[in-house]
Amino acid sequence: MFRFIAWEIVKMLHLRSVRVGLVAAFVLPIIWTLAPGLKQAYGLVLVSGWQVPSLALLAGMEFLYPFLVAMAAAEVLGAEVSMGTLKPLLLRPLSRTRFIAAKLIAALAYPFLVLGVSLLAALLAGLPHGLGGFFGGTGLGEGGFAGVGYLSVEAAFAEILRAYFFAALTLLPIAALSLMFAVWFNSTTAAALGAIATVLLMRLLIAFPSLKPLLLTTYLDLYLRPGDWVMGLSLLFIYTLGFGLLAVLLFERKDV
């Protein structure tokens, strides 16, 4: 099973949407360091390279990273359908449950991969601005970009690494949701659009205060709210598990 999961991850890395997503994640931090309107948009003049990762994360989590994750997770299964390789794979001595579970694990690995690439690019883009200790904040910790005083290299890196890790966790339900739609529709495009439409609909539902604490979109900025980690991660885990189980159940009963 572990060998099959590794194989699925390697196959995922060869998908067009995955490669495009990784390139986009790498380019985004570099673009932000060159943007002339940082002061107008964020009231920020870069004083340290440690502030570049937060700019990429704040911008990307608005739409780009959720979209990239939805596209990649949809294509994990959708590519098998479009290339006609799904039926031959199901003839192998591997149960449908294990097959779709391996696809799910590969899809859930992608948010960590795409954000890892973005973080690496952000640190490289931040080198010209210096990666030493500084007076200010990373934008991802206490005090935002203003900070609360002197920030050491170790503290800055810990803040950024923690924020990127939690940001990846918030994208897991979107990956599972997109894969579920891929099982349902047998189409990469329909699955990705279904996942993004669901996320956008949830964003609109914040107009109903009683529903807001239950929406996964409420926690897409969880990396900025340490006080909500317990509630947020619990709900995101339930969403991920629920969408993943639905994908498995649908695939078990689907005629392919």
Q: How far apart are CA 246 and CA 240, in angstroms?
A: 10
Give pairs for 193-200: CB < 8 Å, separation 24+. 195/70, 195/73, 195/74, 196/66, 196/67, 196/70, 199/66, 199/70, 199/174
Report the candidate in 172, 182, 196 with the shortest Cα–Cα distance to residue 76: 182
**37 CB burial (10 A radius; 0-12, 13-18, 19+):** exposed
Phi/psi at 149 (nearest 5 deg)?
A: 135, -150
DSSP summary character for residue 144: T
Of the pLDDT bands very low, low, confident and very high (cuts 50, 70, 90), residue 5 is: confident
What pLDDT shows up at residue 177? 96
Highest mean pLDDT among 36-40, 91-95, 155-159: 155-159
On the question of pLDDT at 70 being above 70, the answer is: yes
Q: Which of 42-46, 56-60, 82-86 has the lowest mean pLDDT?
A: 42-46
On the question of pLDDT at 225 being above 80, the answer is: yes
**Which residues have CB under 8 Å from 148's CB, separation 6+?**
137, 142
Residue ranges of domains in the chain: 2-253
**Which residues have CB under 8 Å from 249's CB, separation 6+?**
none
Q: How far apart are CA 52 and CA 131, in angstroms?
A: 10
Q: How far apart are CA 177 and CA 198, in angstroms?
A: 9
The per-residue pLDDT of the chain, averaged, comes to 87
Look-up of token digits 């910790």: 141
Of the pLDDT bands very low, low, confident and very high (cuts 50, 70, 90), residue 93 is: low
On the question of pLDDT at 106 being above 70, the answer is: yes
What pLDDT shows up at residue 187? 87
